[in-house]
Amino acid sequence: MINLTAMAAAAKNATRQMALASTDDKNRALEAIVRSLAESQKDILSANERDINEGQKNGLSSALIDRLTLTPERLDSMAADVINIASLPDPIGERFDRKVLENGLQIERQRVPIGVLGVIYESRPNVTIDVTALAIKTGNVVLLRGGSETIHSNRVLVNLVQQALRVADLPESSVQFIDNRDRKYVAELLRLHDYIEMIIPRGSNALHTFCRENSTIPVITGGIGICHLYVDKSADINLAIPVIENAKIQRPSVCNALDTLLVHDSIAADIMPRIVEQLGESGVTFRVDSQALSILEKAGTRSDSEKVQLAGPDDFDIEWLSLVLGIKIVKNLDEAIEHIHKHSTNHSDGILTETDKHAERFVAEIDSAAVYINSSTRFTDGGQLGLGAEVAVSTQRLHARGPMGLPELSTYKWVIRGSYTSRS
């Protein structure tokens, strides 16, 4: 049995020591994590293999197995992200908005850690390292509840993180892991508002919904991506196709992968057969509207009925997380924007165009955390956007939006200096 309240209380106590930690102390812990990822690679991969084998026996989808899987290359990437985080400026202690009032009070705001973060996530053990590294750098404390499918991997990873904290003389209780598969601990975690400042779920829409509906703690929601690219009539088709391919196949099992392609009808006959042929070679299958299907049949592209199918009524509301791409033909920019407003989860949406006015209007009207012009949606990622890593991708407006890096894991306090000043 786990005493979650005791763990949360220990985490709360650790915030005081972490608030005093110097940048050097925190970077020393991060450097120790990097060393441990290399030195413990065999143990990590062995534990991960156990998780994969169990997941396959339990019928996990190929997308979830991909998210679950660690390789030497992915461990190297995780270590590189930690190195990047260590190299970034420490936001904690930053002072800003300084001013002096007429009564002589000197006022400024000072950046401080948020406190205790409860992070609930599924499938991706790399999140364990990303979250802990960002938390350590910002002086925050985390309670981690990974999915049951990653328990062996997370157990090893959290152990090496706690060893790194000891090396830097930082409290082990600043990173704790709920080492139990019982889902009751998720519900219990969501009600520890006396100890935890923020809940960050990373996983399925069901997980986000459960956290929103059951938490007494503020919840950061996001990470569910039904992502769109609109190919405008002025787009350079030869340049657009590689971008579409990258957005769909570079890593299809993640939240910023392309789900729906919108194509202007004036160029559909030129670009559609090429998209189906080129992406089809990589194993992509397509769910298309009736107009797109007609174009493909006339072009002789629809030779394989399993590769290209008529989209069902709900297909444009699916985050595929696999090599499936929805395609819809639209009459103009208005119709593209309207479709995105109806079906997007406000994660990552983009336009491919050579018309500046269309690009500006798209940015103004699309209310997503990341809006792209002539780019793959795959860049909605803390590492890719220069944040080192991310604790989550927020699709809400408060308190942060998009990939949440170091600044987004801080808040501030007012610091007021007087000269024995009293209010008149």
Poorest-confidence range of 150-154, 212-216, 395-399?
A: 395-399
- Does residue 361 have a pLDDT over 60? yes
pLDDT confidence of 172, banded at 50, 70, 90?
Answer: very high
Tokens of 267: 């160029």
pLDDT at 405: 92
Cβ–Cβ under 8 Å, residues 10 and 154: no
- Does residue 160 have a pLDDT over 90? yes
> 142 - beta bridge partners?
117, 175
The dihedrals phi and psi of 335, each to the nearest 5 degrees, come to -70, -35
Question: Which domains does the chain carry?
Answer: 4-220+404-417 (3.40.605.10), 227-379 (3.40.309.10)
pLDDT at 303: 55
Q: Which of 38-47, 62-71, 215-224 has the highest mean pLDDT?
A: 38-47
Q: Which strands sit side by side in the sheet containing 175-177, from one edge to the other? A: 175-177, 141-145, 116-121, 198-202
| Alpha carbons 356 and 379: distance in angstroms, whole number | 21
End-to-end Cα separation, the chain, in angstroms: 57
Angle made by CA atoms 192, 193, 196, in degrees to the nearest 5: 80
- pLDDT tens readout for residues 305-324: 679 999 999 999 999 999 99
Contacts of residue 314, defined as CB under 8 A and 6 or more positions apart, other chains included, come to none
pLDDT confidence of 387, banded at 50, 70, 90?
Answer: confident
Cβ–Cβ under 8 Å, residues 29 and 134: no
Environment class of 239 (CB within 10 Å of its CB; exposed 0-12, middle 13-18, buried 19+): exposed
pLDDT at 306: 76
Angle made by CA atoms 11, 79, 143, in degrees to the nearest 5: 15
Q: Of all residues in the chain, what percent carry a pLDDT higher than 70?
A: 99
Cβ–Cβ under 8 Å, residues 118 and 199: yes
pLDDT confidence of 224, banded at 50, 70, 90?
Answer: confident
Tokens of 232: 């405008």
* Helix H or strand E encompassing 129: helix 126-137
Residue 316 is given by DSSP the state G
How far apart, in Å, are the Cα atoms of 159 and each of 44, 153, 156, 246? 11, 10, 5, 36
| Alpha carbons 72 and 206: distance in angstroms, whole number | 31
pLDDT at 204: 83
